[in-house]
Structure 1
Amino acid sequence: MPDQHSHPTTLTVNGERHDLVLDPRVSVLDALRDRLGVTSVKKGCDHGQCGACTVIADGRRIVSCLALAVSYDGAEVTTAEGLGSVGALGALQEAFVDRDALQCGYCTPGQVCSAEAMLAEAEAGMPSHVTADVAALDPVRLSPEEVRERMSGNLCRCGAYPNIVDAILDVAGERGLA
């Protein structure tokens, strides 16, 4: 039952609309996991430092543990489930499997969401700190250095970084970004 401090909040998660009544302190992460049962979004550090909770909100990647759900009222949220499904993996998910870019798999949903949004950023011409020529950015050409810089907020405790970079570059090449 809502109280005076609860806020009606609508999140469209992987194409499905959810009307929620939330305490204003509830994070996007906790709304997804605890209220909606979307368990691919992982709670790693709960301090915005590891990237395990990365999702895409309105086309931009966010660390969902630090994002208040009420601030994303009306947002379109995409999790790893929204990028593909069992039997019909998305291009990045397939590349991660093909390149063996995971070991324990805990960070993988956040890595895949971050990579998907990162590819869109590069396609839109958004530079990074290592972009050599910020004047010629439509789209940014992704090198291993660009990918490592852009994915630096997503940690992998197993150390699968070389394969993660290779998987992302495979998809970037397919999209004409590498």
Structure 2
Amino acid sequence: MLEVLGTTVLTLNVNGEDRKVVAKPSDTLLYTLREELGLTGAKPGCENGDCGACTVLIDDWPIKSCLMLTVEAIGKKILTVEGLKNAPIQKAFVENWGFQCGYCTSGFLMVCHALAQIHPDADDHVIEEWLQSNLCRCTGYEEIENAVKAILKKEV
């Protein structure tokens, strides 16, 4: 069992690359990604797990990085929006106007990317259920749903 006291140098696998970070036991993954690694795609919104703006994938599952401690991510694969690298969902968001102000977009991209990977045959109910994990204050939900449906049609 790893014991972390004070600040400790940890290795995290982020976007397919092992990265060294300095973290305290209380640091959230969101804080470490943004402040230690300069990966600012995950956004601090509510910082209590409600909005989803900070969503990243941990071992291919969407996780709100404001709720996960950095030390909990040791030994796991972390994928941020910066690591998507032209995933189909990114193009679909552009083509379907799946964003307005853009603050929530990276979190939605991560959830939608995971949805397409885990449930490539998702029906309307599954899509709606997955999209409930994130909030868009600009109310771009219809366009986001259209983007998801566009990539699911191509993958099915």
In the superposition, the TM-score normalised over structure 2's length comes to 0.92
Provide the aligned C-alpha RMSD in A: 1.4
The residue type equivalent to 1:119 in the other structure is A
Aligned to 1:68: 69
Aligned to 1:14: 15
**1:175 lines up with 2:155 in the alignment:** yes
The residue type equivalent to 2:73 in the other structure is Y
Aligned to 2:117: 120
In the alignment of these two chains, the number of paired residues is: 153
**C-alpha displacement of 1:16:** 2.1
Aligned to 2:37: 36
**C-alpha displacement of 1:143:** 2.4
Indicate the larger mover: 71-80 or 3-12: 3-12
Counterpart secondary structure, 1:41: coil
2:5–2:25 Cα contact (<8 Å) kept: no
C-alpha distance in structure 2 between counterparts of 1:11 and 1:158, whole Å: 34
| Runs of 4+ deviating beyond 4 Å | none
Offset from partner CA, 1:16-70 (integer Å, 9 cap, x none): 2111231011011000001100011100100000000000011111000000010
Aligned to 1:82: 83
Aligned to 2:122: 142
Instruction: Give the % identical residues.
Output: 37
C-alpha distance in structure 2 between counterparts of 1:48 and 1:105, whole Å: 19
The residue type equivalent to 1:73 in the other structure is I
Listed as ranges, the gaps of 5+ residues in structure 2 are: none
Listed as ranges, the gaps of 5+ residues in structure 1 are: 124-140
C-alpha distance in structure 1 between counterparts of 2:123 and 2:58, whole Å: 26
C-alpha distance in structure 2 between counterparts of 1:90 and 1:120, whole Å: 11
Aligned to 2:139: 159
Counterpart secondary structure, 1:77: strand
Counterpart secondary structure, 1:10: strand
Give 1 or 2: higher helix fraction: 2
C-alpha distance in structure 2 between counterparts of 1:31 and 1:80, whole Å: 15
1:59–1:117 Cα contact (<8 Å) kept: yes
Offset from partner CA, 1:78-109 (integer Å, 9 cap, x none): 1111112xxxx220000000000100010000
Aligned to 1:110: 107
C-alpha distance in structure 2 between counterparts of 1:104 and 1:149, whole Å: 23
Larger-gyration structure (1/2): 1
**C-alpha displacement of 1:4:** 4.3
C-alpha distance in structure 2 between counterparts of 1:7 and 1:115, whole Å: 34
**1:97 lines up with 2:77 in the alignment:** no
